[in-house]
Amino acid sequence: MRGGLPIASSQWMFWVTYLTLFTWNKNKFFFLWVYNDFPYDYCKAINMGFSFAVASTVAYPCYYIREMVDLWPKERGGHCTWNNNYRQCMKWCIENMDILGYNYLTNYSQWVRRHGVMYLGALWMADSMGMMSNVNEGHNSLEVQFPIFSESI
């Protein structure tokens, strides 16, 4: 686990926020495609874009902490401001957030190009397969379509 704190916390915050916000919005705005005849794919794309934007904005600073400790140039003599400790860097960033807030989304577009397409595609496929639905009935399952379970008159 050594060295995994910023990456693990970034992924945890991203996926929890992304999936929770997506399913919450899907449950709240179901009337758009059920009653108002808006195409579900358009509603899903807007919901996924909004959920991804919020989740990635929340999670990216933890990923950026890894870059701060590992990739930023060191001080004179090779001394690291945070003693190569991710937790100290995270604590320092939280304490100085008011003056350094604009730096936390540096290289964000590169992160979105690298991970965003895969994450958006993964959620699109999961929702298309019914994994992001509260309906757990087997209306398309094998048991329902199997002839033994069909009623005969």
Give the amino acid at 60. Y
Provide the pLDDT for residue 140: 54
Provide the pLDDT for residue 112: 87
**Residue entry with tokens 């902490």:** 65
Kindly give the parts of the chain with pLDDT less than 50.
Answer: none
Neighbours of 7 (CB within 10 A): 14
Provide the pLDDT for residue 39: 93
Provide the pLDDT for residue 9: 86
Residues 24 and 129: their CA atoms lie apart, in Å, by: 18
The most distant pair of C-alpha atoms in the chain lies apart, rounded to whole Å, by 88
Distances (CA, A) of 21 to 65, 66, 76, 78, 133: 24, 26, 45, 43, 13
| pLDDT over 90 percentage in the chain | 30
Provide the pLDDT for residue 55: 94
Provide the pLDDT for residue 16: 94
CB 68 within 8 A of CB 106: no
For the chain, the domains span: 5-149
Provide the pLDDT for residue 136: 57
